[in-house]
């Protein structure tokens, strides 16, 4: 079976590793091409947008894709919408891998907000030192709250013109260890953490650190989930693929 895996997540890479030696599948991982030095992929990879839904439809037809695996980040909502629409138009099987969201614990001081503009507003009128871990795009809302000091952590440094005033950038790629997160928050005298509810273990230590330091966390809720069939883990996706392959062999 020919598979197209929409990637950019640890789940996509893990699925790729699991499929690399599996003769039943010929899979390609697709990356958006946002990070300058993406982690090496275990499978053949392509990079860059498809050119909207029509472009993805064209790719599916041209490469005789039998199943589409949407293993994008929970906040990559446009790509997920396009994948669902293209799968529908081409009658291609589609499965979404969406890791579980983080859950608030009893001693957490979370302020849950629906989007990034609300997150910027929730930091409040008093100037604070903010650890911003929302990636490198969508920084505009924070320019509207220029009285804070931002410590922005992202994989690559964003273009300087996109940064809010008083922003310091540190580039780093997870996974992050708890001791390092505690050290960073203490050394930088962080007063509040802003994060998307990405879920997963690679970047979860910042939440534990904030809990231990009694820091508030402004937690941006996920966009609406895709309506296509969804699993939370790579083993579940592999089980789905095995079932699809068996059906494919039977000519279904």
List interacting residues with ligand NAP (CB under 6 A). 6-9, 30-32, 34, 49-52, 55-56, 72-73, 75-79, 82, 135, 196
Rg (C-alpha) for the chain, rounded Å, is: 20
Q: From the CB of residue 112, how many other CB atoms can be counted at a distance below 10 Å?
A: 14
Contact indicator for 182, 164 with CB cutoff of 8 Å: no
Please give the structure tokens belonging to residue 237. Answer: 């996706």
Minimum Å gap between C-beta 138 and ligand NAP is 8
Considering the complex, state which of residue 11 and residue 191 has its C-beta at the smaller distance from ligand NAP: 11
Considering the complex, state which of residue 95 and residue 191 has its C-beta at the smaller distance from ligand NAP: 95
DSSP codes joined into one string, 188-226? TT--EEEEE---SSTTTHHHHHHHHTT-EEEEEPPPPPP
The residue whose two tokens read 């859950």 is: 103
Minimum Å gap between C-beta 133 and ligand NAP is 10
Chain residue whose CB lies nearest ligand NAP: 49
Minimum Å gap between C-beta 19 and ligand NAP is 16
* Angstrom distance (rounded) from CA 217 to CA 249: 50
Considering the complex, state which of residue 124 and residue 158 has its C-beta at the smaller distance from ligand NAP: 158
Minimum Å gap between C-beta 125 and ligand NAP is 27
Please, which residues bridge with residue 46 across strands?
A: 30
Considering the complex, state which of residue 81 and residue 248 has its C-beta at the smaller distance from ligand NAP: 81
Contact indicator for 172, 155 with CB cutoff of 8 Å: yes
Considering the complex, state which of residue 46 and residue 248 has its C-beta at the smaller distance from ligand NAP: 46
Minimum Å gap between C-beta 246 and ligand NAP is 27
């Amino acid at each position: 079976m020919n598979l197209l895996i929409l990637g950019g997540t640890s789940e996509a890479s893990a699925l790729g590793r699991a499929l690399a030696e599996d003769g039943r599948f010929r899979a390609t991982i697709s990356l958006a091409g946002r990070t300058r030095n993406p982690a090496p992929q275990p499978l053949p990879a392509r990079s860059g947008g498809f050119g909207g839904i029509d472009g993805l439809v064209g790719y599916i037809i041209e490469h005789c894709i039998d199943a589409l695996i949407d293993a994008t980040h929970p906040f990559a909502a446009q790509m997920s919408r396009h994948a669902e629409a293209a799968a529908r138009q081409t009658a291609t099987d589609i499965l979404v891998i969406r890791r579980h969201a983080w859950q608030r614990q009893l001693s957490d001081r979370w302020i849950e907000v629906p989007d990034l503009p609300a997150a910027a507003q929730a930091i409040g009128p008093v100037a604070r030192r903010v650890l911003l871990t929302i990636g490198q795009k969508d920084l505009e809302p924070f320019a509207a709250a220029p009285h804070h000091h931002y410590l922005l952590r992202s994989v690559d440094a964003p273009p300087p013109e996109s940064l809010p005033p008083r922003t310091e950038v540190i580039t780093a790629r997870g996974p992050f260890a708890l001791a390092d997160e505690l050290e960073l928050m203490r050394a930088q005298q962080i007063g509040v953490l802003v994060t998307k509810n990405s879920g997963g273990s690679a970047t979860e230590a910042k939440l534990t650190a904030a809990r231990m330091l009694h820091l508030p966390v402004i937690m941006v809720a996920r966009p609406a989930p895709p309506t296509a069939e969804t699993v939370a883990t790579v083993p579940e996706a592999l089980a789905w693929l095995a079932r699809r392959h068996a059906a494919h062999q039977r000519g279904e």
